[in-house]
Amino acid sequence: MLSTHPARSRSLVASREGTPVQKGWAGMARRRLCSHSHLKRKGRATAVSMEPSRRSQGDEGRKRKLEASNRKGSPVGSDDMDFKALLDQHINSTLQARLDGQAESQAQEVNELREKCEVLEARCSSLERSIQVLRKDVNWTYSAPDIPRSHWIEQGHDEEYADNMEDNIGRIKQDAMRIRNGVYIYCRCLDYEGQLTISHDDALLPHFKELADAIQLRNHALERLTWSDNWIPSDELADLLIKSIIENRVIKRIWLENSFNQSGVNGCRALAALMTCGRPFDLLNFRGNGLSGIDDVAAALATNPQLERLLIRDNQLNDRDADLIAQALKQNTNLQELELDGNNITSNGFEKMSTAIYDPSSLSAVESCNHTCSVDRVEGNEYVMTPRQRRNRKLYQLLSTRHVESSNARHLNAELGEEKHIIKLVPKVLHCIQCYSSDRMADSSMPLSITFELIKTWMMPELFEH
């Protein structure tokens, strides 16, 4: 574009009328400028002309993809549907799990309530029976009729049986009267051990009813239950008996002897049920019940139940059972007495039991042994000593045994280490030797000898240096 300004016009005319050299340079500049302008216009034209082509190609590509997706199903729509289905599935599974959990919780609560109702119903029926007995027995006397001796002879029994029945009826009457009067007794009227077998007879029912009424009124005072040589015919009846014992909150000592081994009833299950019910018992006596394979009993013993004495002698326990019991005793601090005599346990089995009571492999092993339970045929926990005294005696016995070989220093270094901070334990170890010696065995080394050995061989240079 040319300027219309007069001064610029005159200078331009002057430049056009200049020297030939100037005319030449000016011409070249004009040609280059024209050429550059032409290229710019051509480029813009080309760019403008290509944009519609590119747009059309992009539109056509998108159109082809859209048509393909319509033929095969929309990918966007399919993804949305899959995501929605997955989300619905997750929500449904979460809700179902929540409902299942609530249903299980409610079912457990219903079962607990049902059990409580059964207990309350049993108590109500017991109280009703007690009220009925009291109502009709304001001025109670033993009213069961006497049974003449001739009755037993007419039933086909001999004179010895008749004599025995007269004695038994007399014991039932005496025990019923003493129970009624609140006298502390050991009721043995139904204990027929060493006597003739008593056959069922309806004539005995009034006497049994008098005894049952007396027990009904005074059952809160029942502390010991003996069920001896009365075979239990099935697991169901055994469960009923065990349940009754557990529900009675007063019974502390139970004798269930020779009652499971003749009928195939699982006595181990009954014993384990008593041990795991949470009730405290002074004694459980399961003598002569054919017990074997006592995995459940050993597992119950390891939970440290509130049981002081466990008598399981005269059964069929073997070395494996002894090993299970030995492992359980290491976790138990409540059991005070265990009787195992009369089983099929060999010396190997009792050796395992002994290791549970006294393990001399190290001080830590002795410390983790059982110090509360006295086991027959196993030394280590004497009856006359407290658990602390037994522990002290075992630790001193270990030090005394090592003293014979002058190996206390070597063992202490191996067990406690040789680091400098162990020096602080030296005075305490020497003090413990003096304390433990008060409970030592008669044939143990003197405490002064053990002390002298340690002073001579165990960390004395380090101690004085420190």
What per-residue string of b and e applies to 199-230 under the rule 16 or more CB within 10 Å gives b? Answer: eeeebbeebeebbebbbbbbeeeeeebbbbee
Element at 93 (helix H, strand E): helix 75-136
Rounded distance, CA 42 to CA 35, Å? 10
At the fourth CATH level, the homologous superfamily of domain 222-346 is Ribonuclease Inhibitor (3.80.10.10)
Mean of the pLDDT values across residues 286-292? 93
Lowest-pLDDT range of 194-198, 201-205, 408-412: 194-198
More confident residue, 230 or 393: 393
Mean of the pLDDT values across residues 241-248? 87
Lowest-pLDDT range of 41-50, 193-202, 366-375, 420-429: 41-50
Element at 211 (helix H, strand E): helix 205-218
Using DSSP, state whether 130 is helix, strand or coil.
helix
Using DSSP, state whether 339 is helix, strand or coil.
strand
Give the amino acid at 297.
V
Instruction: Quickly state the pLDDT bin for 231 (edges 50, 70, 90).
Output: confident
pLDDT for residue 309 = 97
Using DSSP, state whether 247 is helix, strand or coil.
helix
pLDDT for residue 23 = 46
- Output Rg (C-alpha) for the chain, integer angstroms: 50
Q: Which residue's structure tokens are 């290509």?
A: 50
Q: Beta strand pairing status for 337-339 and 374-375?
A: parallel
Q: Which residue's structure tokens are 């207990």?
A: 119
3-state SS of 297-312 is HHHHHHCCCCEEEEEC
More confident residue, 426 or 280: 280
Cβ atoms < 10 Å from Cβ of 173: 17
Domain boundaries, the chain: 222-346
Which one-letter DSSP state was computed for residue 193?
Answer: T
Mean of the pLDDT values across residues 332-351? 95
Is 290 in contact with 258 (CB distance < 8 Å)?
Answer: no
Rounded distance, CA 241 to CA 387, Å? 35
Is 280 in contact with 306 (CB distance < 8 Å)?
Answer: yes
Mean of the pLDDT values across residues 48-58? 49
Is 197 in contact with 203 (CB distance < 8 Å)?
Answer: no
Lowest-pLDDT range of 31-45, 84-98, 172-186: 31-45
Using DSSP, state whether 337 is helix, strand or coil.
strand
Cβ atoms < 10 Å from Cβ of 399: 26
**Strand pairing partners for 253?**
224, 283
Give the amino acid at 446.
M
pLDDT digits (tens, 9 = 90+) for 361-391: 999 999 999 999 999 989 888 888 999 999 9
Which one-letter DSSP state was computed for residue 138?
Answer: T
pLDDT for residue 296 = 95
Rounded distance, CA 341 to CA 375, Å? 9
More confident residue, 72 or 260: 260
Output the six-digit token pair for 88. 């619905």
**How many Cα atoms are found within 13 Å in the side-chain-facing hemisphere of 91?**
6
Output the six-digit token pair for 156. 């086909």
Q: Which residue's structure tokens are 């334990």?
A: 425
Rounded distance, CA 191 to CA 188, Å? 5
More confident residue, 446 or 1: 446
Output the six-digit token pair for 205. 């029912």
74 has pLDDT over 90: no
Using DSSP, state whether 253 is helix, strand or coil.
strand
User: Whole-model pTM?
Assistant: 0.60
Lowest-pLDDT range of 12-16, 69-73, 86-90: 12-16
Element at 285 (helix H, strand E): strand 281-285
What per-residue string of b and e applies to 431-450 under the rule 16 or more CB within 10 Å gives b? Answer: eebeebbebbeeebbebeeb
Beta strand spans in 159-261 (E):
224-228, 253-257
Q: Which residues contact 11 (CB under 8 A, 6 or more apart)?
A: none
134 has pLDDT over 80: no
Mean of the pLDDT values across residues 196-219? 83
Phi-psi domain of 248 (left: phi exceeds 0; alpha: psi -120 through 50; beta: other): beta
Crossing angle for the helix pair 387-404 and 408-416, nearest 10 degrees? 120
Mean of the pLDDT values across residues 308-329? 96
Is 156 in contact with 173 (CB distance < 8 Å)?
Answer: no
Is 285 in contact with 255 (CB distance < 8 Å)?
Answer: yes
Mean of the pLDDT values across residues 128-132? 69
Instruction: Quickly state the pLDDT bin for 263 (edges 50, 70, 90).
Output: low
Is 338 in contact with 373 (CB distance < 8 Å)?
Answer: yes
Q: Which residues contact 437 (CB under 8 A, 6 or more apart)?
A: 396, 444, 446, 447
